[in-house]
């Protein structure tokens, strides 16, 4: 499932972060980074997905 999130993070970074952590502060930070520059948004999204590990449902 992390591979799917990483692929989504490359296509649309806020979506990958949302699927990982929900509507928390990291989601809004990623929205801001994506608006300021697409690459910083991707880097932040992949970092959040890799750092937090698999989400337990």
Exposure of 23 by Cβ count < 10 A (0-12 exposed, 13-18 middle, 19+ buried)? Answer: exposed
pTM for the predicted model, two decimal places: 0.84
What pLDDT, on the 0 to 100 scale, is given for residue 57?
47
Number of alpha carbons in the 13 Å side-chain half-sphere of residue 56: 0
Spatial contact of 17 and 9, defined as CB atoms under 8 Å apart: yes
pLDDT (average), residues 46-50: 93
Q: Closest Cα to residue 47, out of 30, 32, 23?
A: 30
Mean confidence (pLDDT) of the chain: 89
**pLDDT 10s digits, 15-33:** 999 999 999 999 999 999 9
């Amino acid at each position: 499932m992390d591979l799917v999130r990483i692929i989504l993070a490359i296509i649309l970074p806020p979506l990958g972060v949302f699927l990982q952590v929900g509507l928390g502060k990291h989601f809004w930070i990623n929205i801001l980074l994506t608006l300021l520059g697409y690459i910083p948004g991707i880097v932040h999204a992949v970092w959040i997905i890799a750092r937090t590990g698999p989400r337990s449902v």
